[in-house]
Structure 1
């Protein structure tokens, strides 16, 4: 893996240097094998980009470039430039949530500054042939942060009240909550309506495609 970039400018230089290259070209340099598809290797694209850009945080609950305060997010896009899937932000806390605020939340920390790397995502393009797009360094506008904060506060209030089982993907304008686990057998602890511990699927915060599409449209068009 390349060393962690020391400045934002160095990070952007690296991101611009890989724009236009295929996954195969990037994998060759990193001495990584390209899987036939992403069904069993969902995190492979992220790992490939992390190698080239020098992101050291991995899956830790902190920004990928912690010294720069920047999170790395790849985003698969269609031929027309629309995001093809929601974007995972972080795992949602289900216990010990009393007193948590938006200002100190993992979600806000992760989204305070994001380096978006669009990648070709159409399934008929072989994985090895898919190319990396031009990077975008994004900080939420006050309007965007207001939307994210409202969604986070609404979802966290439901969790605090013990109604985690009632939350569906329909909640949230920009940010929503979905099960996040390797399989349906994985369970974690939460609180039920009566305040007693229950077992439920781990949840993750995700950005809706409409929200990420607005970000891309505003900056690329």
Structure 2
């Protein structure tokens, strides 16, 4: 590892910290009915509309707006977990995630779930992890965000709730245990995005100069980038496909998304 003074050390269990400074402050939803009311109030709105209503600055560049859409959605829904290792809606036990989709209604990226401990003192069973508490009941907000669309023009298409079934939880637990087997054998640095069936463990840090300590195969301290648990892109796309089937989404509906892309990006091919 480079010994440059620019290198930052992350504590195990780090959290990505970023928040909007808005005069709009909503209490957490008291029940599902209130959460649904808030969801229905933002469906169809663009990120820029929400920014104006919230009185916050809307970044113009995609690089500056990383995570912005998710934060502003959290603001309008009243998510209250902040950076704690708890579901976003603590009292309801529901984790909030945003899925950016292309005009073919497929997920554009992997979905971050939680930070991963890669230097644990002891093994923690899957059912006792923050990862498990987050995946048990999830709210996905679907964001229309085809490649090239300015962040301000991204638009909320809808939402759905997801609770994994017994088989899906078993696969997630298997993925979790396989990652931990590598961690406890001093091979955390070998974990990469090709591993895992539903879950991935991938680098997750403010920048590429952030490192965290791990044990190597000899029990000595080594250094690697912090990691996080993610849903694989193919898995979130499969959830969207299941939603399409259950809601009776027809080819004409996808054509409307193509048309919306053409309206929002007239100089770009649809």
**Alignment TM-score, normalising by the size of structure 2:** 0.78
Structure of greater Rg: 2
CA deviation vs aligned residue, 1:78-105 (integer Å, no higher than 9, x gap): 0011000001111110122523111111
Counterpart mapping for 1:26-175 below 5 A: 26-175=50-199
Kindly tell me the number of residue pairs found equivalent between the two proteins. 221
**How many angstroms apart in 2 are the aligned matches of 1:9 and 1:197?**
50
**How many angstroms apart in 2 are the aligned matches of 1:36 and 1:21?**
18
CA deviation vs aligned residue, 1:108-148 (integer Å, no higher than 9, x gap): 11111111001011133222222102111111111211211
**How many angstroms apart in 1 are the aligned matches of 2:68 and 2:202?**
21
**How many angstroms apart in 2 are the aligned matches of 1:202 and 1:61?**
16
**Alignment TM-score, normalising by the size of structure 1:** 0.95
**How many angstroms apart in 2 are the aligned matches of 1:59 and 1:220?**
32
Is 1:2–1:52's contact at 8 Å kept on the other side of the alignment?
yes
What runs of 5+ residues in structure 1 fail to find an aligned partner? none
What runs of 5+ residues in structure 2 fail to find an aligned partner? 1-24, 246-270
**How many angstroms apart in 2 are the aligned matches of 1:106 and 1:156?**
15
Is 2:214–2:221's contact at 8 Å kept on the other side of the alignment?
yes
**Equivalent position to 2:213, from 189, 192, 204:** 189
Q: After TM superposition, where is structure 1 displaced by more than 6 Å over at least 4 residues in a row?
A: none
